[in-house]
Amino acid sequence: DFAEGNIHHKALLISVTVCSILLVLIIIFCYFRYKRQEARPHYSIGLEQDETYIPPGESLKDLIEQSQSSGSGSGLPLLVRK
């Protein structure tokens, strides 16, 4: 009985040790991932007053035409053709 109890005790000790090491590694991984994400610049969804998507002097039609002629398979797809 003593030898069998000793084996169960060792198995429990090894299991707890392995699980503890895995938990520490997961916490370290999450910490560094959080820090890396925090270091990235945050972009605001709204536009600032000076920012525009379409440059002055160009229309949306001009941008669509430029995107269609830039190469095979690139650009915006047209949903409705006239």
Q: What is the mean pLDDT of residues 57-68?
A: 71
Q: Which residue has better confidence, 68 or 49?
A: 68
Whole-model pTM: value is: 0.45
Query: What is the rounded CA–CA span in Å between residue 10 and residue 25?
Result: 23
Residues 17-58: tens digit of each pLDDT: 999 999 999 999 999 999 988 887 766 555 455 555 666 667
Domain boundaries, the chain: 15-50
**pLDDT range class, residue 77, cuts 50, 70, 90:** low
Which is nearest to 76 in space by CA: 38, 68, 61, 46?
A: 68
pLDDT at 3: 63
